[in-house]
Every structure is written in C-alpha cells, then in structure tokens.
Amino acid sequence: MDKQPHRFAGPPGQEDMPYLLTPGPLTTSRGVKAAMLADWGSRDVEFRRLVSDIRKGLLGLAGCNDSYECVIMQGSGTFAIEAALGAFCPKAGTRTLVVANGAYGDRAAAILSHLGRPVVTIDKGDSAAPSADEVGAALDADASISHVWIVHCETTSGIVNPIEEIAREAKARGKFCMVDAMSSFGAIALNMGAGMDVMVSSSNKCIEGVPGFSYVLARRDMLQASRGMSHSVVLDLHEQWKGLETNGQFRFTPPTHALAAFHQAMKEHAAEGGVPARGARYRRNARILIEGMRGMGFSTLLPDDQAGPIIQTFLTPRDMNFHFETFYEELRRRGFAIYPGKLTKRPSFRIGTIGKVDETVMMNVLSAIKEVLANMKVTDLAPIEA
C-alpha cells in the first residue's frame, strides 16, 4: 500500500479541507464561517442595517467623501464590472480606453465590445505594467476617449499597476477614471479621492469574505446621469442604487449569508489594523513564499518591484518529470489548493498569498512543495525557455 503523504492541518473549522492559496475564493476565519449559521430575512430591519453598515464601511475604506455612493450587486466580481461598464461607458460619440496587461483587462474590453460600446485598448501583454506617461500619450493622441478603465492588481500575473499616477493623467485631461480593484481592495492602499471616479471589487478577496456579491463605488452624479444607460434589467446599476437608497432593500433576493459573513469580515479587517496591517501580513506571506521558492531553484515571472502581495507567478520547470496536474493534486492531498492552471503566455503556475493565512502556512506549503518535487523526482527547476 502506498504511504499516504504528510497532511498539514487545514484551516480552523475545516481541518479536513485544504488551504485555498488562490486569488479568491480564499480561506476564511472561523468567525466568518460562523456568521453564516444564522438565517436572515432579506427585508428585515436588522438585515437592512447590516447592508447599510457594509455600504458605509466600504466607502470609508476607499477614502471616499460624501459625493460617492456604494452599490452592492448580487453575483461575482464580473457582474459588477459589467454593470459598471454598462452604466458609465458611452454608447456612441466617445470611447473607453481599456489599459490591459492580462486576462482581466482583456475581459473588460471584451464586455464593452459585446455591449457594442466603443472601446480602444493599450495592450501590454501579460507581464509588463503600463506607465502613466503611456496612458497620457494615448489620451493626447485620441481626443475621442472619454473614459479610462484600468485593473489595479492584474491577477493573471500578480502585477500591481500604478493606478494613482494613471488617474492623475486621466483627470488632468478631463477624463473619467474607472478602476477594477477586485483582488487588491482591502490590502493595497487605494484613495478614490486621488482622481478615481469608479471602483469595483467583490466580497471574496482581501476583506476575506465569501463569494456571493460584488460592489461598485461611484460618484453620485455619475450614477444619477446613468439612468437608462444599462443594457440589462438585472445589472442596471442605477436602478439597484435607487432601490437601496429608497428602502435599503435589494430589487432581487440578496445573498443574505454572504453579506452577513462579509459584515463579520469587515469587523475582523478593522480589528487586525485595516488596510496597512492586512497588506503587511500578505506582504510577509509573499516574501516567505518567493524566497523559499527561489531557494529551491524556481524563477518568478515578475521582478520584485512589480509583483504585488496578492498572488505569485512561478515559471514552470523544464524538468521532464514535472507535470503540473500531478504537482497540483499532490499539493492538494497535503492540504494546499493552489491556482489550478495558467493565464500567462509563458508556462507558469500561481500561488495565492491572501486569505486567512500567515507565515506558518507559507512555511508549510514550502515544505509540502519540497516533498512533492522529491517524490516526482524533479531536480531541474530552471524554467522552460520563453
């Protein structure tokens, strides 16, 4: 009989399940899990207060003044992205510039094309950051651009883009700046007062909630002007906002348990020390993981000055004994679920460093990786040539 691999203890409250080392869904705390044990009436006064607390708290985390609103949307982050693009991006006359350096920028451009909204892109591939000067030059060269869409942390590679500098270039030219902060918000500082008009994120990322809803923070005057712009009934951001403002209720059944879990996650986020402390823990996780992987012989896709603390991309070893599917399954048997696949053009794999995980978890996953590589008889960790 084959010897079973050493199994590290799983997260508190789910010891028989793996740590989720992905960019979301991710490992959550026992308190967040426990918050979902109660049932909520979607129209009850207690639940409406909870939703109001979430909306106010998110605006505070983003540095918004009283000219901004928070609109919660049922569904994953892409639901809110499409809702925001459909609400604010012009149907004709002017165009939206999507600054893309990975799959999620590409997805925004694809949504706009599908909606028939005029769109133009800056394509930086999947491992280079756009500069503010590049965006400024593109805006100067094309007077038809009225809106700019940029991803904060592009989880295709883990790269962090200079959104504040890009926002300044956009605002200096009178353009609207819209930010996808899906996998960064709550851990990487973001101040919407620095020139960002719209920001989109979701419940199951750095606040450490569970999947079920996403949200859009936007200037109130933009929301007011978006009436009738949406292509959809369900994704109509203006009507969702008006419903929440009128009676605190969702137009359609909300994910009550996910919202209750997120409310608890926000309390835990504040208790940890907010964005600075959450980001510091993730940076420690990333440093331990990267140093340990490089110590074994792995190479990272990104240089240290571009890699953020959210997810780390490692180049696939050229050793003929390395098979990612085996590597993935063996790590999962040992208690760690990494991201099951690649999005970059170069052969690579990704390991997330966010969620309710710490240095101990990172050290344990490094030990598990060493064990799996030894069992696979992988010795040459130099990357496959580009």
Determine the Cα–Cα distance for residues 293 and 300; give it in Å rounded to an integer.
9
Cis peptide leading into residue 25 (ω within 30°):
yes
Instruction: Write out the two tokens for 225.
Output: 């002007």
Q: What is the pLDDT of residues 162-211, one digit of tens each?
A: 999 999 999 999 999 999 999 999 999 999 998 999 999 999 999 999 99
**Residues 175, 96: contact at Cβ < 8 Å?**
no
Determine the Cα–Cα distance for residues 327 and 347; give it in Å rounded to an integer.
14
Q: 71: helix, coil or strand? A: strand
* Count of other CB atoms within 10 angstroms of residue 214: 25
- Structure confidence at residue 342 as a pLDDT band (50, 70, 90): low
**Residues 203, 69: contact at Cβ < 8 Å?**
no
Instruction: Write out the two tokens for 96.
Output: 């939206």
Q: CA angle 207-208-209, nearest 5°?
A: 100
* Count of other CB atoms within 10 angstroms of residue 183: 30
What pLDDT, on the 0 to 100 scale, is given for residue 6?
52
Check pLDDT > 60 for residue 1.
no
Mean predicted confidence (pLDDT) in 44-59: 97
Q: Give the chain's radius of gyration (CA, Å).
A: 21
Q: What is the pLDDT of residues 120-138, one digit of tens each?
A: 999 999 889 999 999 999 9
Q: Which residue has the tokens 């918000």?
A: 185
**pTM for the complete prediction?**
0.94
Mean predicted confidence (pLDDT) in 89-102: 96
Q: CA angle 108-125-115, nearest 5°?
A: 20
Least confident of 51-65, 225-239, 328-342: 328-342
Check pLDDT > 60 for residue 21.
yes
Mean predicted confidence (pLDDT) in 148-164: 95
For the chain, give the mean pLDDT.
Answer: 94
**Residues 216, 185: contact at Cβ < 8 Å?**
no
Check pLDDT > 80 for residue 11.
no
Determine the Cα–Cα distance for residues 111 and 132; give it in Å rounded to an integer.
24
What pLDDT, on the 0 to 100 scale, is given for residue 4?
45
What pLDDT, on the 0 to 100 scale, is given for residue 2?
39
Cis peptide leading into residue 309 (ω within 30°):
no
**Residues 355, 28: contact at Cβ < 8 Å?**
yes
Instruction: Give the pairing of strands 68-74 and 213-219.
Output: antiparallel
Instruction: Write out the two tokens for 305.
Output: 């000055």
Question: Can you point out the beta strands (E) in 282-347?
Answer: 311-315, 336-338
Instruction: Write out the two tokens for 32.
Output: 């967040």
DSSP label at 36? G
Angle between the 256-272 and 274-296 helix axes, to the nearest 10 degrees? 90
Least confident of 78-92, 212-226, 262-276, 344-358: 344-358
**Residues 351, 339: contact at Cβ < 8 Å?**
yes
